[in-house]
Structure 1
Amino acid sequence: MADNRFPNAAQSRAQGGVREGLSTEVTTVLRNTYMLLGLTLAFSAVTAGTSMALNLPHPGLILTLVGFYGLLFATHKLQNSVWGLVTTFALTGFMGMTLGPILNTFVANGAGHLVTTALGLTATIFLALSAYTLITRKDFSFLGGFIFAGALVLMGGMLIAFLFNLPNLHLAISAGFTLFASACILYQTSAIINGGERNYIMAAIGLYVSLYNLFISLLHLLMAFAGEN
């Protein structure tokens, strides 16, 4: 009787083929995700620069939320077609446009150095968290509950901050978004590596939104610590 505790050569090759196939799939998703993320960040920078050059006004919180969630919903529905790429660039371009007036405010008040610092910190945090997840391949799926609860708390805080002018609350929301965005980067990168995310369009959008939130939150925190109005 054959001893089934030890796989034969054919079984080993088959198992190795499965592992190699999964590894290739993960590599492909990662490569496409980071390529699309880089392109959307560049496009977002162009629309932000155009918005700054034209001195466009900020569309306001309501229009920003409607535009963001509307385009996000469209991207989710079209994620498996080429039109998903179109809505992806529409979404990131729109978010870049809303960023332009914010950056103009900083530059006009002589706080352009805070923009550069926030951008550097955002890149450093993203690279560090991504590298840690990619190297350790740790499963951060347990952060799902924290992210869901955090999103509800932050949305409630934003609503209160929109209705009442509470400086300390604004600062707390910015700090909360910094932690929230960092957790999302760990969660999303882990999902790609461990098989939870196989659509590079949605993976890129998730990372883009996390980077956007992280940058804006760090910008507000730096402004507060620098004593800027």
Structure 2
Amino acid sequence: MQELYTQSATYSSSLEVSKVLRNTYALLAMTIGFSAITATISMAINFPHLGLISLLPYIGLLFAVEKTKNSGWGIVWVFALTGWLGLTLGPILNYYVGVSGIEPILMALGGTALIFFGLSGYVLVTRKDLSFLTGFIMTGFIVAFVAMLAAYFLNISGLSLAVSCMFLVLSSLLIMWQTSNIIHGGETNYISATVTLYVSLYNIFTILLSFLGGSSDD
């Protein structure tokens, strides 16, 4: 009897994990498509580059998502967040199109897709538990954010490159960590999972674009 109960609980847990994964990937695909639309609009209207000011709405929208992630409003705020990030991406894309053409953008998109599917696929196949990375990733992002502010205000080009590399590595680790967290039952909210993956992909894409666009410019 106990064995049957254990098997039933395991089956139910497996179904829940599959549901969270399915909902996460579906919402992620929709938000990427939506932000592509807002980025296109942003490029068409020559939306200005806001710099660090764009972080204020971003932080506010992140807070709204977190507060409503267990309700239908959470999905509304997720689209608002990803739409805003797409809008702020427009000026960056316009810059690189003007400097290097569309090739670096396509290469950055391809590289981002390869990184995402490669890392997610690795975790899904091996089913590794990466919960031990939690503290390292959180500390790394705090250090990287502080270093980013220092590089911005002190205008240190070498530090900016180091910060970009830090964010690239940390965002890649975050994709693996979040995927692992889902399949091991640590993350049961697909809205939170979607935001984590989306922001990681956004970081990776913009960093790859800066590398590829810069090398094309050179």
* TM-score, length basis structure 2: 0.97
**2:191 equivalent in structure 1:** 201
In structure 1, the gaps of 5 or more residues are 1-9
Q: Which protein has greater RCO, CA pairs closer than 8 Å, 6+ apart?
A: 2
Query: What amino acid sits opposite 2:70 in the alignment?
Result: N
1:134: which partner in 2?
A: 124
Shift of 1:105: 0.2
SS in 1 for 2:100: coil
Q: Distance in 1 between matches of 2:135 and 2:79?
A: 29
Distance (whole Å) between structure 2 residues aligned to residue 143 and residue 227 of structure 1: 35
SS in structure 2 of the partner of residue 109 of structure 1: helix
Question: Is the 1:30–1:200 Cα contact (8 Å) retained in structure 2?
Answer: yes
Identical pairs, percent:
50
1:83-132 CA-to-partner distances (Å, cap 9, x unmatched) read 11110000000000000100000001133211111110000000000001
1:42 aligns with 2:29: no
1:27 maps onto 2:18 in alignment: yes
Cα distance in 1 between the residues matched to 2:134 and 2:55 = 23
**Which segment is superposed worse, 159-168 or 115-124?**
159-168
Matches within 5 A, 1:156-175: 156-175=146-165
In structure 2, the partner of 1:102 is 92
Separation (CA, whole Å) in 2 of partners of 1:197 and 1:99: 29
The answer as to whether partners of 1:57 and 1:101 remain within 8 angstroms in 2 is yes
Unmatched tracts of structure 2, length 5 or more: none
1:89 paired residue among 65, 72, 79: 79
1:212-227 correspondence runs (5 A): 212-224=202-214, 226=215
CA contact (8 A) 2:35 2:82 kept: yes
Aligned AA (1:138) = K
2:104–2:216 CA contact under 8 A, matched in 1: no
Q: Provide TM-score, normalisation by structure 1.
A: 0.92
The structure-2 alpha-carbon separation of the partners of 1:147 and 1:35, relative to structure 1 and needing over 3 Å to count, comes to same
In the aligned structure 2, how far is the partner of 1:134 from the partner of 1:126? 12
Q: CA deviation at 1:220?
A: 1.5
Tell me what 1:56 maps to. Answer: 47
Q: Distance in 2 between matches of 1:216 and 1:27?
A: 30
